[in-house]
A and B are shown apart, each in its own frame.
Chain A
Amino acid sequence: MTEAREERRFAEVPRESIKLMAESAGVELGDDVAAMLAEDVCYRLREATQNSSQFMRHAKRRKLTVEDFNRALRWSNTETICGYGAQDALPFRPLKEGELFFVEDREVNLVELALATNIPKGCAETMVRVHVSYLDGKGNLEPQGTVPSAVQSLSDDLLKYYQQITRAILGEDPHLMKVALLDLQSNSKIAALLPYFVYVISGVKSVSHDLDQLNRLLHMVKSLVQNPYLYLGSYVRSLVSSVMYCILEPLAASINPLNDHWTLRDYAALLLSHIFWTHGDLVSGLYHQILLSLQKVLSDPVRPLCSHYGAVVGLHALGWKAVERVLYPHLPAYWANLQAVLDDYSVSNAQVKADGHKVYGAILVAVERLLKMKDVSLTGAAEGSAAALQNSAGGVIGFRESSPGLSPPPEPLSEPPLGIASHLQAGGAGCQWEEWTPVSLPAMYCELYSFFGDSLAVRFSTGPALGGAPSAAPIQSSDSRKEPGNGTANLESTRKMPQLTANMNISPRQDGSPRTEPAPPSLAATASGRREQARPSSRSASQSRDIFPKTRFTPPQAGPPAFSFLIGGRQMGRRCQGRRFQTSFTPTPLLTSLPPRAYAHKLPVIGRVSKPVRRWTCSHYSLYLPL
């Protein structure tokens, strides 16, 4: 017997244990009996274990379970052991005093269990999922198993693709970049790479000194956003934050005034609007967050002007409602700061002042659009007949005017932000809209006019000017309608106006020499519009009768920009085209300092229209270019 124990072929139950168990049952066992029993117990246990293994094998498992063992017991007519069916491992513990090992059996508080409120949900339903694991016997297209894992292993092909694409986009060759961006925009198989690309893009923060790289990364964002096969999901947040970085941050690149970070900001803003336009469902939650951060930047006087500029174009990009909500209420406070900058004629302030003009221009564009769109929405909603009348009255300008007049959202090319804003509002994202009391259009116009004076009015009525002399009659009619509404309020603003115009007149001369072409054209833009009358939309709100002649005469004093007035004035039915036109024409007088190409590059900024818009409105542009 002792030999047997020494051999230890198998785990054995010592006879002491048998004795103990017998004692606990109230039976006294002799040594020999205990030994016999111990041996038999061992044998039976082994037999049952061996039998139970077949249940494991047929259940196609590797792990022997209590259930298997119980089945073996049941089929050999033995009582089964209950209470150990749980799938979790049972902790097997030693007891310090004495060599005792036991399975931990914690007490369960039934009351607590019964009254528990956190009732566990039923476990997920059994289901079947299919994967094409191996195509033609090779390649693992998708990892089989559908276990969502953070780290997706990439196939070699994808990895190579990723490397090529990033290299091409961030590399020197513009042609390669174009090809890569195009592919990124249309490739349907790069879903797995999305996180990697997003990661690359989030690198904007580390290349803020390199405008070129920033630009490329933004282009990458655009391609990804436009790829119809990609579901951006939560990555869209990361993309938006990268874009916001480009819009708002005082980039290292902007220290050097020669760097045209303005274009970058404009482009980024457009991208933002594009993201909101196309992926509204994904980013609707971000809308207010972004509005808040824009507002924060705008209300922070310590921030550099370029950040403010970014905030303004960002708001502009988010739609006229965003402008109305954030920019408009902040304008009075901000205006003082801006005014101070613009009024400082010291040489040391020249650069800042130029920047200030940029901001000024941006604000102007934003509020003009605000006014216009507000008017359109009002007229669109309230009196469709008036719009029709106006269209017919507009004569030559009719078809231009008609499009915003019909319904704003369906015109994504030129008015994406509006569409988005309305979409957001409809989507319930605009929780703040309720608490905010809208300002009536006339009141708004009054206030804005108090800031911008004539430059604002001019922007409004680009259309009618197109007609020039021939279309005088309709203009008059619309103007006359406008006037009564705003007569008294404008007295103040007219007082302010000269200041502004004076600034404008002077600034080009001051800044013109070093490099600040941006400033004069922006002036030119504002000025060019100035002579045009208030656009019909504002007619209910404004008078411009007395301002109109004034403004008309101011620009000629400015000298060179006069060219653009003429052309622009005749040309534009709509802001965009107007600016477009200017950008191509204003350079001529100032050609001296910069090569035309760089010029063309910058001009959109000056005109406050960035490249992408041009691309999107390409058809319009080409249509009107011959003029």
Chain B
Amino acid sequence: MAAVQDGGSELEGEKEPKPELMNDGSTAPAAAPSSRPEDQQTLLAVLQFLKRNKLIESVDALRREAGLADEPEEAPGSEAAGGAGGAAAGSGELGDAGALLSRVSGGSQSAAAPAPAKGGDDQPDVSVVLSAYSQQGDPSLYQVYYSGLKKFIESVLDCHRAELSQLFYPLFVHMYLELVYNNHESEAKSFFEKFNGDQECYYQDDLRVLSGLTKKEHMKGNETLLDFRTSRFVLRISRDSYQLLKRHLQERQNNQIWNIIQEHLYIDIFDGMPRSKSQIDSMSGSLAGEAKREDNKTKVYYGLLKEPEIEVPLDDEDEEAENEEGKPKKKKPKKDSMGSKSKKQDPNAPQQNRIPLPELKDSDKLDKIMYMKEATKRIRLGPESLPSICFYTFLNAYQGLTAVDFTDDSSLLAGGFADSTVRVWSVTPKKLRKVKSAADLGMIDKESDDVLERIMDEKTASECKILYGHSGPVYGVSFSPDRNYLLSSSEDGTIRLWSLQTFTCLVAYKGHNYPVWDTQFSPYGYYFVSGGHDRVARLWATDHYQPLRMFAGHLADITCTRFHPNSNYVATGSADRTIRLWDVLNGHCVRVLTGHKGPIHSLAFSPNGKYLASGSTDGRVLLWDIGHGLMIGELKGHTDTIYALRFSRDGEILASGSMDNTVRLWDAIRAFDDVETDDFTAATGHVHLPDNSQELLLGTYLSKSTPVIHLHFTRRNLLLSAGAYNSQ
């Protein structure tokens, strides 16, 4: 299970469209080929690659391992090469395999990284990737082709025009790259100049990168370009529109464009009405186009796990004195809040033991009891009763505050700083104390009742503890639910586990060889997830020094990672402007959510596990229905990157915090209620978003020159926000 799970599906994605386009009429999402031939194909591709690179021993070893005979392996290989698209297609396929290999084995993207260890030097690696562009056409005709297509698309009926316009961007990019690759620099430049302005504004960032690239040599190390090559750009087009396009291209004998469409694009054809411009716009914007529909077909068990039955001790009524009959009242809310749902298994919830969860310790049970008690005192929020907001301002944080986390009970606060330190503060009057040294511990009477108190060294009590260990900025911090541990992820490529008893580092998890942008503990502890610059999210268990799962598939850095409340899924947001949901059990990617127009920097699951909110650099918050894999809301208002998102404890309010020094509160209930997810929408995935951000916005709260980088609802629904005062 520790292997990469995504390789297969990605390869499948790339191979699929070919047959589909060949036999013309067949339905687009051709049933996925059975996994057996699929695996074999992958193996063969790998073998071929190894052979090309004269890695005979590896070939032998792999062959032995796979139990493949010499003979059959030869045949399909040549078949593949000769089959579909002649030499170009063959090399393209090889290229894909090579690229995959490099990603899988090195966990890295070629040129920016030190040369991958296994794949030999990266020269052939990249060249195979790029060789797909080697097909020669008359460079001067590219502009003619493109403007011909443009003219055609502008002339078609309005209903088709919006859909076919989606073709512009990927075609533009690929044509430009072809020109560059074939050393037609000046043609490439004039092509770019001429059609650059036609592209959608949300691709500006990518276009900027592209425009700087004018030489073949530059293409080697460019990550954006590799992303473009290693994945097909996905378009969703209605059958009618597609037929229209196809007829046009066949009439014109426009092979150049047709080839690009065949090789580099994945056209997801659906039956029914063409989509409107706004529908398309809301879903597009990611680095590789929209998500394929079948990507989001897998069933996701988004329900919550059954809470363990815990007897609330009835004796200590002192706190409950406010309400006269403490016992019945105490019991009831407990049932209301979680009991009723968990009594009968939620149909959408995963099996209780779908993934093994740690046993509850006594202290955990005590904490649960505390939680329930607090929950009874929780304020019901709503549009009329907004939460109070407390701002935790970091002063004198000249070294740069990069990450913040609160414990669930809001008793501790951790800050990660750019000077490689992690600082932990006690938010309550209770000071932070270390455990005594081993020698001193030996002298303690272990039988005494207050042994837990005795092991603490009173001399070390202080409000703040500094944890030293990282050698780069700390980009992510996360407390374990039991408050015994703290995780921190850093630019130095490690994730460190700290003990909050001794305030020392326990483990440094090495696996990401690149900056780790985010990490988070599972809501049940034990597991944690991390993601970083190497585009692979990893699932770890605290007692394993190697990851349990690797979630590969993102085309750019993973910027944020979040656990689903039931701990069975992990959501990752990426700089490729997509969100992916991964199944912890088997490592599959079960949801790909597109629609953001900028890197995603914050994610939040609703407390009931049904919804996901995501915030990005474009200042928009998007709401997602996990069950259907649909976008169900768009919250506009922020003017800068959203670094913090959090649902209130009962899910009525969504709070978002941003670089623009504001906290905004949104009416989450209404946002989710307004959505009518009829069967049609669910089936086609054509969302139509109401533009009601202003009605959903309940309040905008300004801080004073302090970007909001973390939000937290206390157990009683008080909103805590944190950020560093920025004096400039």
Which of B80-88, B239-247, B382-390 forms contacts with chain A? B382-390
CA distance A147 to B218 in the complex (A): 49
| Known pairs A4-B189, A136-B388; A77 contacts B114 (CB<8 A) | yes
Q: Which residue of B lies closest to A137 (CB)?
A: B386
Q: How far is the CB of A246 from the nearest CB of chain B, in Å?
A: 40
Is A101 at the interface (CB under 8 A from chain B)?
Answer: no
**Are B212 and A43 within 8 A (Cβ)?**
yes
CA distance A87 to B704 in the complex (A): 22
**Are B391 and A131 within 8 A (Cβ)?**
yes
**Are A75 and B398 within 8 A (Cβ)?**
no
**Are B559 and A58 within 8 A (Cβ)?**
yes
**Are B212 and A46 within 8 A (Cβ)?**
yes
| Known pairs A43-B213, A57-B599; A130 contacts B641 (CB<8 A) | no
Is A50 at the interface (CB under 8 A from chain B)?
Answer: yes
Contact of A128 among B112, B213, B392, B643 (CB under 8 A): B392
Which of A138-146, A367-375, A388-396 forms contacts with chain B? A138-146
Number of A-B contacts (CB under 8 A): 157
**Are A129 and B473 within 8 A (Cβ)?**
no
Q: Which residue of B lies closest to A9 (CB)?
A: B211
**Are A126 and B209 within 8 A (Cβ)?**
no
Q: How far is the CB of A509 from the nearest CB of chain B, in Å?
A: 72
Is B701 at the interface (CB under 8 A from chain A)?
Answer: yes
Q: Which residue of B lies closest to A51 (CB)?
A: B112
- Residues in A with CB closer than 8 Å to B464 are 127
CA distance A138 to B517 in the complex (A): 35
Is A108 at the interface (CB under 8 A from chain B)?
Answer: no
CA distance A211 to B418 in the complex (A): 64
**Are B698 and A137 within 8 A (Cβ)?**
yes
| Known pairs A39-B214, A137-B389; A126 contacts B395 (CB<8 A) | yes
| Known pairs A76-B112, A127-B464; A43 contacts B389 (CB<8 A) | no
Name A114-165 residues within 8 Å CB distance of B.
123-138, 143-147
**Are A71 and B491 within 8 A (Cβ)?**
yes
**Are B557 and A129 within 8 A (Cβ)?**
no
CA distance A71 to B415 in the complex (A): 21
- Residues in B with CB closer than 8 Å to A54 are 533, 557, 575, 599
**Are B391 and A130 within 8 A (Cβ)?**
yes
Contact of B395 among A47, A62, A129 (CB under 8 A): A129
Is B222 at the interface (CB under 8 A from chain A)?
Answer: yes
| Known pairs A60-B659, A144-B391; A10 contacts B473 (CB<8 A) | no
CA distance A128 to B601 in the complex (A): 24
- Residues in B with CB closer than 8 Å to A173 are none
**Are B394 and A133 within 8 A (Cβ)?**
no
Is A3 at the interface (CB under 8 A from chain B)?
Answer: yes
Is A59 at the interface (CB under 8 A from chain B)?
Answer: yes
Interface secondary structure of A, over-half rule: mixed
Q: How far is the CB of A3 from the nearest CB of chain B, in Å?
A: 7
CA distance A134 to B398 in the complex (A): 26
Is A61 at the interface (CB under 8 A from chain B)?
Answer: yes
Q: Which residue of B lies closest to A134 (CB)?
A: B389
Q: How far is the CB of A275 from the nearest CB of chain B, in Å?
A: 34
CA distance A43 to B385 in the complex (A): 54
Q: How far is the CB of B714 from the nearest CB of chain A, in Å?
A: 12
Name B495-537 residues within 8 Å CB distance of A.
514-515, 517, 533
- Residues in A with CB closer than 8 Å to B387 are 136-137
Is A7 at the interface (CB under 8 A from chain B)?
Answer: yes
* A43, A58, A134 — most chain B CB neighbours (10 Å): A58
CA distance A71 to B475 in the complex (A): 14
Write the B683-706 contact mask toward A (1 if CB under 8 angstroms, else 0): 000000000000000110101111
**Are B394 and A127 within 8 A (Cβ)?**
yes
Contact of B659 among A62, A128, A133 (CB under 8 A): A62
Write the B210-226 contact mask toward A (1 if CB under 8 angstroms, else 0): 01111101100110000
Name B677-728 residues within 8 Å CB distance of A.
698-699, 701, 703-707, 709, 721-722, 725, 727-728
* A42, A87, A147 — most chain B CB neighbours (10 Å): A147
CA distance A421 to B221 in the complex (A): 83
Which of B168-176, B288-296, B344-352, B399-407 forms contacts with chain A? B399-407
Name A24-74 residues within 8 Å CB distance of B.
39-40, 42-43, 46-47, 50-51, 54-55, 57-63, 67, 71
CA distance A71 to B491 in the complex (A): 9
Is B183 at the interface (CB under 8 A from chain A)?
Answer: no
CA distance A144 to B514 in the complex (A): 37
Is B621 at the interface (CB under 8 A from chain A)?
Answer: no
Q: How far is the CB of B459 from the nearest CB of chain A, in Å?
A: 20
Q: How far is the CB of B676 from the nearest CB of chain A, in Å?
A: 29
Is B423 at the interface (CB under 8 A from chain A)?
Answer: yes
Q: How far is the CB of B425 from the nearest CB of chain A, in Å?
A: 5
CA distance A399 to B599 in the complex (A): 86
CA distance A143 to B703 in the complex (A): 8
Q: How far is the CB of A74 from the nearest CB of chain B, in Å?
A: 9
| Known pairs A54-B575, A125-B396; A47 contacts B389 (CB<8 A) | no
| Known pairs A3-B189, A147-B725; A137 contacts B394 (CB<8 A) | no
Q: How far is the CB of B198 from the nearest CB of chain A, in Å?
A: 17
Contact of B475 among A3, A58, A62 (CB under 8 A): A58
| Known pairs A7-B189, A57-B601; A136 contacts B385 (CB<8 A) | yes
- Residues in B with CB closer than 8 Å to A9 are 211-212
CA distance A71 to B402 in the complex (A): 15
- Residues in B with CB closer than 8 Å to A67 are 418
CA distance A616 to B388 in the complex (A): 44
- Residues in A with CB closer than 8 Å to B388 are 132, 134-137
CA distance A202 to B557 in the complex (A): 63
* A9, A67, A125 — most chain B CB neighbours (10 Å): A9
- Residues in B with CB closer than 8 Å to A3 are 186, 189
Write the B532-558 contact mask toward A (1 if CB under 8 angstroms, else 0): 010000000000000000000000010
**Are A126 and B212 within 8 A (Cβ)?**
no
Q: How far is the CB of B647 from the nearest CB of chain A, in Å?
A: 16
| Known pairs A7-B189, A133-B391; A60 contacts B402 (CB<8 A) | yes
CA distance A46 to B210 in the complex (A): 11
**Are A130 and B390 within 8 A (Cβ)?**
yes
**Are B701 and A134 within 8 A (Cβ)?**
yes
CA distance A138 to B390 in the complex (A): 12
Is B617 at the interface (CB under 8 A from chain A)?
Answer: yes
Q: How far is the CB of A59 from the nearest CB of chain B, in Å?
A: 5
- Residues in B with CB closer than 8 Å to A60 are 401-402, 643, 659, 707, 709
- Residues in B with CB closer than 8 Å to A55 are 473, 491, 515
**Are B423 and A126 within 8 A (Cβ)?**
yes
| Known pairs A10-B212, A136-B388, A144-B703; A59 contacts B395 (CB<8 A) | no
**Are A126 and B218 within 8 A (Cβ)?**
no
CA distance A3 to B185 in the complex (A): 11
- Residues in A with CB closer than 8 Å to B641 are 57
CA distance A76 to B722 in the complex (A): 33
Q: How far is the CB of A79 from the nearest CB of chain B, in Å?
A: 15
Q: How far is the CB of A75 from the nearest CB of chain B, in Å?
A: 7
- Residues in B with CB closer than 8 Å to A125 are 396
Q: How far is the CB of B571 from the nearest CB of chain A, in Å?
A: 18
CA distance A57 to B659 in the complex (A): 10
Name A339-375 residues within 8 Å CB distance of B.
none
| Known pairs A59-B418, A138-B386, A147-B725; A131 contacts B211 (CB<8 A) | no
Shortest 3 CB-CB contacts between residues of A and residues of B: A137-B386, A145-B704, A134-B389
Given A59-B400, A127-B464, A145-B705, 14 more contacts at CB 8 Å? A4-B214, A60-B401, A63-B728, A123-B396, A127-B394, A128-B394, A128-B395, A129-B395, A131-B390, A133-B721, A137-B386, A137-B665, A147-B704, A147-B727
Could you list which residues of chain A lie within 8 angstroms of chain B, going by C-beta atoms? Answer: 3-4, 7, 9-10, 39-40, 42-43, 46-47, 50-51, 54-55, 57-63, 67, 71, 75-77, 87, 123-138, 143-147
| A–B complex contacts, Cβ < 8 Å, 23 sampled | A7-B193, A47-B221, A58-B402, A59-B475, A63-B728, A67-B418, A123-B396, A123-B398, A126-B398, A126-B423, A128-B393, A128-B415, A129-B392, A130-B393, A132-B390, A133-B390, A133-B721, A134-B386, A134-B388, A137-B385, A137-B665, A138-B699, A147-B704
